[in-house]
Amino acid sequence: MQYYVPFLMVAFILFAVGAIGVLVRRNFFVVLMSLEIMINSAGLVFVILSYFSGTISGQVFFIFVAAVAASETAVGLAIAVLMYRVRHTVDVTEFSIMKR
Amino acid sequence: MEWLLLLCVLSPAVGCIINGLFGRWTYRAAGVIGSTFLGISFALAIPLIIYAIQGHIIDYDYYHWIISGKLDVPFGLRLDSLSAMMLGVVTFVSFMIHIYSIGYMGGHKGYARFFAYLNLFVFAMLLLCMGNNYLTLFIGWEGVGFCSYILIGYYYEKKTAADAGRKAFVTTRIGDVGFTIGILFIILYFGSVKFTDIFPQAHILPPMIATIITLALFFGATGKSAQFPLYVWLPDAMEGPTPVSALIHAATMVTAGVYMVARSAPLYALSPTGSLVVASIGAFTAFFAATMALTHFDLKRILAYSTISQIGYMMIGVGVGAYWTGMFHLMTHAFFKALLFLSAGAVMHAMHGILDMRLMGGLRHKMPQTCAVMIIASLAIAGIPPLSGFFSKDHILGEALMLGHPIIWMVGVITAFMTAYYMFRMVFFTFFGESRVPEGLHPHEAPNVMLVPLWVLAVGSIVVGAIFGIKMHGHIPIEHFISLTSPVAFPKVYEVNESLLIIISIVAGVLGIAVAWLSYIPKWAPKWRSWFVRTFHPLYRCCFNLWWVDEVYNCLFCRPFWHVSERFLWKVVDDKLIDAGVDDVGRIAGLAGKAVRILQTGFINNYAYWVSAGALIVCGWYLLKIM
Amino acid sequence: MTGIEACVFAIVSLMAIVGALGVVFCRNPYHSALWMVFSFVGIAGLFALLQAYFLTALQIIVYAGAIVVMIAFVMMTIDFRKVRGLSKFVPQWLWGLIISFGILIDLFILTSKMKIDVSQAGKNLAIAGSNTKALGMELFTSYLFPFEMVAVILLVALIGVVVLTKRGIK
Amino acid sequence: MNQLHFPILSFITFWPLLGVFILLFINRKNETAIRIVTFVFMLIDFLVSTLLYFYFDPTTWQPQFVDKIPWISSLGMNYYLGIDGLSLFLVILTTFLSVVGQFSTWSAIKEKVKEFNIVFLLLLTGMLGVFESLDAFLFYVFWEFELIPMYLMIGIWGGPHRVFATMKFFLYTFAGSVFMLVAIMATYFLFHHYTGTYTFDMFQLASHPLPHHLQFWLFLAFFLAFAIKVPMFPFHTWLPWAHVEAPTAGSVLLAGVLLKMGTYGFLRFNLPMFPSMTHALGILVIVLAITGIFYGAVVAMVQPDWKKLVAYSSVSHLGYAMLGMFALNSQGMEGSIMEMINHGVSTGALFLMVGILYERRHTRLFSEYGGIAAIMPRYAVLAGVVTLSSLGLPGTNGFISEFLCLIGAFKANIWYGIVVAGGAVVSAVYLLMMFQKVFYVKTRNVKNLGLKDLDLRETVYMGICVLGILWIGLYPNPLLSRMHVSVEHLLQHVNSYSKQITINVDKNLTCNKLAKINVISRGGL
């Protein structure tokens, strides 16, 4: 077994746990947090591969990923606030106005 | 000389442009302007005709009209004996009719428009006659058809007039299909449409093709010259103003078919079958149209049927191969038929538009001069010597017999009798007997500007035949002249005593006049007329109802055509089949969308499930690939 | 991997995973937020192991500091009971677990199939002993344009958030 | 070859975009200024495009005024503009009809004037691009680009059912062009497969036609795209809808230019690239064309709506163009191109006529009209000339093209000619009925009595159309002479492939394999 494998395993486990959070939780904020974890795990993969292949680009990409994640969170929170104002709930199963 | 010729042809077009564009300002002077340009044209025609009589030919291409591949169609004019004769007839008669129209149309709405159209017509007609190739001829051919359309529909606010114009155009267009096919065959076989390219090598045509070409061209002529299957538009065309009827539907345009056949003489000479068809249709039409003229009461319609009948004679002439006789009759007919129409117009003018002869009678006291010219013209058409109609008709019948068509000759003689009868029936009905004019109408003689052309044409009707038709120095002048271009096509079959033929035709004519006199003038005439009608009731009804040809055409072609188009092709094929099919394709897409829509629950976590499931599937697929 | 490194690796990865599980399975969202900090610190430790020292700092400051705080703040503006009451899972939670485990297995197999050339491992990550300098050089030379684009994305997000949350904007 | 040493085609094509840019800076309230600026831009475009006519070299079939810049050179795509005898007059026709069309909208369009003129200018760019591009990919780009302004024009400024009509128009034509895209791609890859070069250059693609069993499906795909656009007989049902709902200028350009793209596409793609199939499937096209000639005419005859009548007449007229083209001889082909030009002028003018009356009365039903000749004499005369040209009276432009097509068809097969000659009768019937219903008879409707005759602006643009009609009718040679060489070259090219197949054929290459090549090559991209 190559010794980068444990690192990747950790990243993937984080990804899967985050995915579970996104898929099963009803609280919009928890969903957002889980999403953060997924994104972070993806960034982690960049950093891991950057280390093992000896190029720094992966770390640069983590910065990009972090920036995108930050903006995504910001917009997500804004939407949450908006939804709360309109529906008085943050339950994702209640957000179904896309189809009447 | 060729530029003189061009000027002669273009002069009416200039008149048309001036009257057409500036009609608002030329209003009162429009008639004079139109006539002036026609006068110029006529004046220029005189030296040209003399030039042609001297035996010269002008054939000049002014510019290349269409060049495509190996086909080169020039815009060119040709002056030879045939077209010189037409040039003379057309410019002279139109000049006369233009002058007449100044008086006749005076005060009508759209005075300038009328003269613009009339000038345009003459231009197109000259193009038809002078063109040196089939396509230039075709421009004129269609051009006169179009002018006929707008002039028939001149009183366009009357629905009948508008309908008649359309009927005329469409019917002649049906004929033009044949003409077009003829030209197409000519292009296919000769690669050119110029007369000078075609006729010298006409003999290369296989006889079958020659017959097809001649029949196709003749089908065009039946449309334009109102021959048997397609004559129906001409009587309706009488809705137009009378000068138009005189010019277009009697003297010039309708004879274009005859001219065209005579022009194509080298082709017809190759096909005895085609020529025989021309002659037979001509003879049949002559007889058939005469039967319809026998019982009519409408002044102009009688003349219309008589025109059809007379063109039938010309067709006999050109069909039997004696082109000069047909052309000769064309010329004399132009004079006396124009005269007939114009005097009918004068009557109509006097009667404030009434054309029904049952409301006339005894008009000879009111309008003696009109009566006189009408009688002259009627004598001419009845074939009484020494008036012009006698010579031309006699030559046609004589040649028909001598070239071996006795049945056609017989039909011709019978028709001559009928012609004399119905013409004089008309004269007696209108001008003699007791006055049946409705109260309040005061018929009066026409103004001088109308009478002068009448008398000029009357003189023409008297002398033209004698000048050109009497044998001098061993040959008949017109025969000699026309045969320069279109010589007699077939050899003589019978030798017949000419004086016997002359006597027979005179007897037929006189008999016809006598019968008409007996039927209308004596006191006891009405009684024996009603006996006659009762005895021959079916025959009378057939004639009176014009053999129901219009009705048959209507039921057979027009209405089914319309109904199939509307009820079936549009409403069913287009809307229900094709368009609905297209919409159904769209609907299928819509249904597919509806099916997929079930997946779209609207809950965002459901979408998250689908996204992740998709990711899973993509990953799995990729794994399968690399394994 | 030396023994001490392995030891550290085990601790930080455990932190990250346990934190993540805490985020997902904690009933109280505020607790979730705290677990998230825990998890992020673990991930920061992983970064340190991978010699990405700048990113370690970034992770702790931006993620564990800023983002989590932001989420927590926003949650505080909202009725506490409503936020707390949502402890149940969605009805299809079983499918969620299955899909997630599927993805996990997929990725594991992928990892086992993967071959990376590790001859360069741990090199080129620092200039003159400074990871930050190396990162900066890369970021502002090769990746200048994407970097600016990211700035634009952040700006857009900023504007978007303002537009979305401001009341009464038509 | 570019005899002007100046990228004139690019100039013509993108000059309207500059107009769009300038319009952006004009206040939308200032409608007159917007109209004048647009008009001036279009007029300059037209005047510059007439230079093409004067500098055109009629002795060569090679593309002229060429503008070639590598675009994506690794894929063989070039920005490649150029014209030859086939497209020269279509370009001039496009600029001409745009000027006239825009001029006609000065009073017709009263809402969203600025947007309308912008859309109009964009449309002009798109249309010119289609006729000028000699790169198949660029052609496709312009082909799709031009759809959008037209879609907007019908959808925003159209009649009451404009949304339905515009969807139908867009989806219908788009469905066709999708097939075309696939076929362009397939041709591109197959061409590479056989010759080893990647190119979108139309002339190069045509220089080595594919083996004939591959041509079959490609020909059909292109046929579908172009036949919908033309529109040929069973694909025509979008046309009446689009025409009826479009604003006048939209109808003019739709009939005058957009339909020509279909016929032009046949000339550029189907004939030169798939010559064997042109011979093999020509009969299909000809049968559809002849059906269209009669079908369009008789259905036009019974329409109660003026614009619908003209729309169906387009089906009939373009049937002549297709017939002449697939007759594959010089008369037919030149007649076909002439028919495209003439149909553009005459039918464009007919739509303008309809528009003039529609503007005054806001109806197109024949039953509302009658007796207009007495009320608007100048209008009646101009409409008369236009009608005549549409029915192909000798002396007007319609005759030249119809007769040449007829000769071509007749030479190809006597029976085609004999059958089609009858079309003249039907077209006379419906056009004269149209004329009579509108202009003749006493007017039954009081609303018609107060109608104003044409004002100066209307007289000018109709008069120009009429002059064009008469000029082409009486002296078509300047046009024909510039087509000869290109047409002869195309015919020679097509006819040389009638029997033999030049590229050595890989006998096993079936359609499945064709698909595979496609996939592999796309992977390679």
Amino acid of residue B619: C
Taking contacts as CB-CB distances below 8 angstroms, the residues of chain A near C2 are none
pLDDT tops 90 at residue D498: no
Partner-chain contact B602 A22, CB within 8 Å? no
Partner-chain contact B623 C90, CB within 8 Å? no
For residue D457, CA distances in Å to D106, D373, D463 come to: 9, 20, 10
pLDDT tops 70 at residue D14: yes
The whole-angstrom distance between residue B612's C-alpha and the CA centroid of its chain comes to 83
Query: Which residue in chain A has the smallest CA separation from B610?
Result: A23
Which member of D371, D406, D432 has the closest CB to residue B169? D432
Handedness of CA C154, C156, C157, C162 (dihedral sign): positive
pLDDT tops 80 at residue B395: yes
Phi, psi of D503 (to 5 degrees): -70, 135
pLDDT tops 50 at residue D524: no
- Between chain B and chain D, the number of residue pairs with CB atoms below 8 A apart is 135
The reply to whether C136 touches chain B by the CB within 8 Å rule is no
Partner-chain contact B156 D441, CB within 8 Å? yes
pLDDT of residue C39: 93
pLDDT of residue C85: 61
Handedness of CA D368, D372, D376, D379 (dihedral sign): positive
The reply to whether C86 touches chain B by the CB within 8 Å rule is no
Please provide the average confidence, as pLDDT, over all residues in chain D: 87
pLDDT tops 50 at residue D503: no
Quickly list DSSP for D135-194.
BHHHHHHHHHHTHHHHHHHHHHHS-TTHHHHHHHHHHHHHHHHHHHHHHHHHHHHHHHHH
User: With a CB-CB cutoff of 8 Å, which residues 71-110 of chain B face chain D?
Assistant: 71, 75
Please report which confidence band the pLDDT of residue D511 belongs to, taking 50, 70 and 90 as the band edges: very low
Query: Which residue in chain A has the smallest CA separation from C156?
Result: A71
Amino acid of residue D196: G
Taking contacts as CB-CB distances below 8 angstroms, the residues of chain C near B605 are 90, 92
The reply to whether A46 touches chain C by the CB within 8 Å rule is no
Structural contact between residues B224 and B137, judged by C-beta atoms closer than 8 angstroms: no
Please report which confidence band the pLDDT of residue B92 belongs to, taking 50, 70 and 90 as the band edges: very high
The residue written with tokens 């799995």 in the block is B620
pLDDT of residue D516: 47
For chain B, which chains pass the contact test of at least 3 CB pairs under 8 Å?
Answer: A, C, D
Average pLDDT over residues B3-27: 86
Query: Splitting chain C (170 residues) into consecutive groups of 10 residues, what average pLDDT does each group show?
Result: 84 93 88 91 92 90 87 82 69 87 88 80 81 89 90 92 74
Residue B599, min C-alpha distance to chain C (Å): 15
pLDDT of residue B430: 86
Partner-chain contact C103 B623, CB within 8 Å? no
Structural contact between residues B196 and B132, judged by C-beta atoms closer than 8 angstroms: yes
User: With a CB-CB cutoff of 8 Å, which residues 587-626 of chain B face chain A?
Assistant: 600-605, 608-609, 612
Give, as one character, the DSSP assignment of residue D233. Answer: G
Whether the predicted model's global pTM rises above the 0.95 cut: no
Give, as one character, the DSSP assignment of residue D24. Answer: T
Q: Are strands B71-79 and D64-72 parallel, antiparallel or unpaired?
A: unpaired
Helices (H), D266-368: 271-273, 275-301, 306-327, 330-361
Query: Which residue in chain D has the smallest CA separation from B566?
Result: D302
Residues B167-206: pLDDT tens digits?
A: 999 999 999 999 999 999 999 888 889 999 899 888 888 8
Residues B105-127: pLDDT tens digits?
A: 877 777 888 889 999 999 999 99
Please report which confidence band the pLDDT of residue D523 belongs to, taking 50, 70 and 90 as the band edges: very low
Give, as one character, the DSSP assignment of residue B365. Answer: T
The reply to whether B149 touches chain D by the CB within 8 Å rule is yes
> Which residues neighbour B82 within 8 Å (Cβ) at sequence distance 6 or greater?
B259, B262, B263, B327, B482, B485, B486
Taking contacts as CB-CB distances below 8 angstroms, the residues of chain B near C90 are 605
Which member of C100, C106, C113 has the closest CB to residue B620? C106
Average pLDDT over residues B355-384: 87
Average pLDDT over residues B523-541: 81
For chain A, which chains pass the contact test of at least 3 CB pairs under 8 Å?
Answer: B, C
User: With a CB-CB cutoff of 8 Å, which residues 30-89 of chain D face chain B?
Assistant: none
Give, as one character, the DSSP assignment of residue B486. Answer: S
Q: How far from each other are the two terminal CA atoms of chain D, in whole angstroms?
A: 32
pLDDT of residue D160: 87
pLDDT of residue D344: 93
Within 10 angstroms of residue D449's Cβ, the number of other Cβ atoms is: 10
| Fold type of domain A5-99 | Helix Hairpins (1.10.287)
Q: Which of B140-154, B249-263, D201-215, D401-415 is predicted with the least confidence, judged by mean pLDDT?
A: D201-215
Within 10 angstroms of residue B522's Cβ, the number of other Cβ atoms is: 11
Partner-chain contact C107 B619, CB within 8 Å? yes
- Between chain A and chain B, the number of residue pairs with CB atoms below 8 A apart is 28
Please report which confidence band the pLDDT of residue D499 belongs to, taking 50, 70 and 90 as the band edges: low
**Structure token pair of residue B40:** 């110029």
Task: Verify A-B touch: 3 or more CB pairs within 8 A.
Answer: yes
Amino acid of residue B351: M
Phi, psi of D176 (to 5 degrees): -65, -45
Which residue did the predictor score with more confidence, D314 or C3? Answer: D314
Residues D407-455: pLDDT tens digits?
A: 999 998 889 999 999 888 889 899 998 998 888 888 777 888 888 888 8
pLDDT tops 80 at residue A100: no
Residues B551-564: pLDDT tens digits?
A: 888 888 888 888 88
Structural contact between residues D218 and D183, judged by C-beta atoms closer than 8 angstroms: yes
Structural contact between residues B466 and B386, judged by C-beta atoms closer than 8 angstroms: yes
Which member of B609, B615, B622 has the closest CB to residue C103? B615
Partner-chain contact C99 B616, CB within 8 Å? yes
Give, as one character, the DSSP assignment of residue B201. Answer: G
Which member of B63, B177, B579 has the closest CB to residue D425? B177
The residue written with tokens 């903006």 in the block is A71
Give buried/exposed letters for B500-517 (b at 16+ CB in 10 A, else e).
ebbebbbebbeebbebbb
Percentage of chain D exceeding pLDDT 90: 48
Query: Which residue in chain B has the smallest CA separation from D295?
Result: B569
pLDDT tops 60 at residue A32: yes
Quickly list DSSP for A3-72.
TTHHHHHHHHHHHHHHHHHHHHB-BHHHHHHHHHHHHHHHHHHHHHHHHHHT-THHHHHHHHHHHHHHHH
Task: Find the chain A residues whose C-beta atoms sit closer than 8 A to any C-beta of B.
Answer: 19, 22-23, 26, 31, 92-93, 95-100
Partner-chain contact A44 C43, CB within 8 Å? yes
pLDDT of residue D521: 41
Distance of alpha carbon A75 from alpha carbon A89, whole angstroms = 17
**Structure token pair of residue D130:** 């289609």
Distance of alpha carbon D153 from alpha carbon D367, whole angstroms = 28
> Which residues neighbour B202 within 8 Å (Cβ) at sequence distance 6 or greater?
B210, B266, B267, B269, B270
Percentage of chain B exceeding pLDDT 90: 33
pLDDT of residue D519: 43
User: With a CB-CB cutoff of 8 Å, which residues 208-267 of chain D face chain B?
Assistant: 234, 236-238
The reply to whether A8 touches chain C by the CB within 8 Å rule is yes
Taking contacts as CB-CB distances below 8 angstroms, the residues of chain B near D424 are 173, 176-177, 180
Average pLDDT over residues D116-125: 93
Partner-chain contact B141 D371, CB within 8 Å? no
